[in-house]
């Protein structure tokens, strides 16, 4: 378990060879074993194969990434520009995940004080998928540098679905237990004790 957690990485450098037929569907099936508030299973998966849609997503990412670059402090913009923050060109599989706050499944149990539990449940499904993929040698990358409304429009999903993330999946070009952002000098991880207080 520890090995899996240490190895698990957000991947942005993918080989172009496709995942075996049915693999993405199997990973989604495992993701559906995730916990969800009130057993509401609010996750909604959109498998994106259409090349026109994919091209639209690439443009949407490029636009937001250019804006993020422009917003960097001058001292960090060169470093930011060097980072590879998506693997949209090479990754053979694309997936978008949404959460449906309007679902009646679960009869709203656990959602009165914290309606955001719906989004959190979809995130546990995403992370389940991430770990299940990694256990099979498959890499996954989470793209958040993108405008949620643009993605929803490109994918023509129901307006009540909240965008959780756009994901690239495929075999990683290389493997490392050190996050790419740490390798590149963007940020370093802090010891766990820094994040704990006691009451």
Residues 1-40 that bind its own copies (CB under 8 A): 1-2, 4-6, 8-10, 25, 28-35, 37-40
Nearer to its own copies by Cβ, of 32 and 90: the residue is 32
Helix/strand/coil for 52:
helix
Is 43 in contact with 117 (CB distance < 8 Å)? no
Q: Is 137 in the site for its own copies (CB under 8 A)?
A: no
Nearer to its own copies by Cβ, of 144 and 175: the residue is 144
Q: Return the closest-CA partner of residue 88 out of 179, 1, 16.
A: 16
In the complex, minimum distance from the CB of residue 63 to its own copies, in angstroms, rounded to a whole number: 10
Q: Is 112 in the site for its own copies (CB under 8 A)?
A: yes
Q: Is 186 in the site for its own copies (CB under 8 A)?
A: yes
Nearer to its own copies by Cβ, of 34 and 90: the residue is 34
Is 43 in contact with 97 (CB distance < 8 Å)? yes
Q: Of residues 15, 77, 92, 124, which one binds its own copies by CB under 8 A?
A: 124
Instruction: Please report, as residue ranges, which positions from 91 to 110 form the binding site for its own copies (by CB under 8 A).
Output: 105-107, 109-110
Q: Of residues 41, 139, 152, 168, which one binds its own copies by CB under 8 A?
A: 41
Q: Is 181 in the site for its own copies (CB under 8 A)?
A: yes
Q: Of residues 19, 88, 91, 117, which one binds its own copies by CB under 8 A?
A: 117
| Cross-strand bridge partners of residue 169 | 93, 140
Is 161 in contact with 99 (CB distance < 8 Å)? yes
Q: Of residues 51, 71, 74, 159, which one binds its own copies by CB under 8 A?
A: 71
| 70 φ, ψ (degrees, to nearest 5) | -65, -25
| CB-count exposure of residue 62 (10 Å: 0-12, 13-18, 19+) | middle
Q: How far is CA 126 from CA 65, 110, 130, 132, 141, in A?
A: 23, 20, 6, 10, 11
Q: Is 53 in the site for its own copies (CB under 8 A)?
A: yes
């Amino acid at each position: 378990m520890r090995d899996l957690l240490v190895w698990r990485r957000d991947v942005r450098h993918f080989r172009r060879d496709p995942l075996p037929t049915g693999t993405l569907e199997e990973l989604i099936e495992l993701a559906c074993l995730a916990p969800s508030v009130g057993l509401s299973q609010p996750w909604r998966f959109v498998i994106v194969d259409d090349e026109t849609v994919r091209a639209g997503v690439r443009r949407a990412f490029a636009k937001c990434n250019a804006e993020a670059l422009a917003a960097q402090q001058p001292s960090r913009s060169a470093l930011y520009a060097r980072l590879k923050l998506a693997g949209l060109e090479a990754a053979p599989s694309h997936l978008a995940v949404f959460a449906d706050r309007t679902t009646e499944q679960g009869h709203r149990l656990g959602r009165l004080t914290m309606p955001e539990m719906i989004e959190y449940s979809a995130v546990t499904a995403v992370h389940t998928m991430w770990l299940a993929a990694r256990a099979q040698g498959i890499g996954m990358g989470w793209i958040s540098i993108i405008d949620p409304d643009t993605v929803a429009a490109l994918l023509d999903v129901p307006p009540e679905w909240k965008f959780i993330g756009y994901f690239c999946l495929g075999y990683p070009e290389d493997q490392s237990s050190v996050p790419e952002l740490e390798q590149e000098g963007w940020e370093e991880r802090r010891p766990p004790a820094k994040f704990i207080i006691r009451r």
